[in-house]
Structure 1
Amino acid sequence: MPTLIRFVILNVGVGLLLGAATAASIVVFAPVALGHGDGLDPLALGLQIYAFGASFGLGALATALIMIAED
């Protein structure tokens, strides 16, 4: 696998995992903050995990690219 593809997959994957962990921890500790007042809707939770994961993934990739440029 080319180095660039591996770099992108690794950094986006790490960011996605961080975002998913963040969304899950918010749902566990403060479910009302994300709109889960009465019960846990699996579709809403999946979309929120995807939203957090995508944002964190792109942020992690951008940070990694900037850190390479400083070397």
Structure 2
Amino acid sequence: MEKYRLKVPGNMGKKVKNTYQKVEDSTVGLYKHIENGVVSAYQKVEDAFVESFLEKTENQDESDK
């Protein structure tokens, strides 16, 4: 992969980097927030399914009867 560097030196370059970092952080933060919401919703559906249709067994080797 090719390497790149900013064409803008000095303080302006730092401002560009900082702005880019803020955009990246907010985008990643939003993605994580959405992902957590989806996982939470799925977990609720899974828990409801397990509670409604499955029961614990004493023996793990016991097959469907």
The two structures have a TM-score, normalised by structure 2, of 0.52
The corresponding residue for 1:64 is 36
> Which structure shows the bigger proportion of residues in helix conformation?
1
Structure 1 segments of 4+ aligned residues over 4 angstroms from their partners: none
CA distance in 1: counterparts of 2:38 and 2:24, whole angstroms? 21
Larger radius of gyration: 2
Instruction: Give, in whole Å, the separation in 2 of the partners of 1:31 and 1:39.
Output: 13
Q: Highest relative contact order (Cα 8 Å, sep 6+), 1 or 2?
A: 1
Residue 4 of structure 2, aligned match among 21, 25, 31: 31
Q: What root-mean-square deviation, in Å, do the aligned CA atoms of Structure 1 and Structure 2 show? A: 2.1
Query: 1:12-71, CA deviations, whole angstroms, 9 ceiling, x for partnerless residues?
Result: xxxxxxxxxxxxxxxxx7334xxx136461000000000111111000110011000001
Q: TM-score, normalised by structure 1?
A: 0.48
Identical-pair percentage: 8
Counterparts of 1:38 and 1:46, CA distance in 2: 13
